[in-house]
Amino acid sequence: MTRFFSLIGRGLLQHRAMMYLLVGFALFPLYTGFADLPFWNDVAIRIMLLGMAAMGLNLVLGYGGMVSFGHAAFFGIGAYCVGISSYYDIFNGWIHIGFSLVTCGLMGVIIGLLSLRTSGIYFIMITLAFAQMLFFGFVSLETFGGDDGMSIDRAEFGLIDLYEPLRLYFLVWAALVIVSLLLMFIVHSRFGVTLRAIKSNESRVEAMGLTPLKFKITAYVISAMICGLAGTLFASWQEYVSPDIMHWTRSGELMIIIILGGLGTLAGPLLGAIAFLLLEEFLPELIQAIAPDYAENWMIVFGPILIAIVMFGRGGLLGLLIKLFQRKGAS
């Protein structure tokens, strides 16, 4: 147990950026309260949840070097766990979360075991194909709304009434803090070090007598469960779930968020989520100001921005910040 806390403590020191972000999110409602901008609380919730999913994906993508292009599926399964439970009149949020963690864990084991037999381009394509399989599965499940999806009530968390203002905000925040601490612990543990070693040279790790597949599948399952948790909370916030939540473009979005913020860093995905959602919020307005007829077509600018980020944006926003402040170990 002391080891656990010393790891977390060291992690907190090493990840100042992460700590600033978490404190920032805790204080943000104060600002929106004074400035009377309740809409921005919702934006912040979306940022935290997409950031959380991206943090989960980052464990396999950034630390493990496995390019999974199907993590939206786990986000969607998490969301559908709320929908399906509500359909059978189970409204307890703790049960939703438990259900989602177990289902995503199991699906993570199945999909992970099948996909991790391959690597490189095959792995990318296969994870994408599995996500599509689940997507089409939910599209044709008429019981749960099919294509149109189903509207749901926010979950009940005992004494916490999620319909009261800010209750959901701080529930999401608490989940984000727990996930951040967990990832901090994982990244600095022996497991995390081995995972990064596998990324840089798998056969060498194997030669040392370890079984890379075991580490990879564990990381895959953990990341699936984190994505599932984010999806569960997302569905409760949105009060609606449809197959669109696991559309393959969302897998792309999560990857963009990671690249934008900084691959293989703890705070990167959260920073990327802030940048991504602000871009999504302000780009249409910007285009509205320049060419009012084309505000709806903001994607035509967003696509090239994305290509530019890939071509020129090495290290992401976090890398940029570190360069700006030049403070050692601020990742």
Write out the residues near other proteins by the rule CB under 8 A: 61, 67, 69, 114, 117-118, 120-122, 124-126, 128-130, 132-133, 136-137, 139-143, 248-249, 252, 255-256, 259, 263, 294, 297, 299-300, 302-307, 309-311
Residue closer to other proteins (CB basis): 258 or 266: 258
State how far Cα 186 lies from the chain centre: 16
**Least separation in angstroms between CB 309 and other proteins:** 8
Structure tokens at 233: 């909370």
Residue closer to other proteins (CB basis): 106 or 306: 306
**Least separation in angstroms between CB 228 and other proteins:** 20
Q: At what angle do helices 248-261 and 38-58 cross, to 10 degrees?
A: 90
Residue closer to other proteins (CB basis): 177 or 306: 306
**Least separation in angstroms between CB 258 and other proteins:** 9
Specify the amino acid at residue 45: I
**Least separation in angstroms between CB 276 and other proteins:** 12
**Least separation in angstroms between CB 136 and other proteins:** 4
Residue closer to other proteins (CB basis): 136 or 282: 136
Residue closer to other proteins (CB basis): 191 or 302: 302
Residue closer to other proteins (CB basis): 165 or 303: 303
**Least separation in angstroms between CB 306 and other proteins:** 3
- State phi, psi for 40 to the nearest 5 degrees: -70, -20
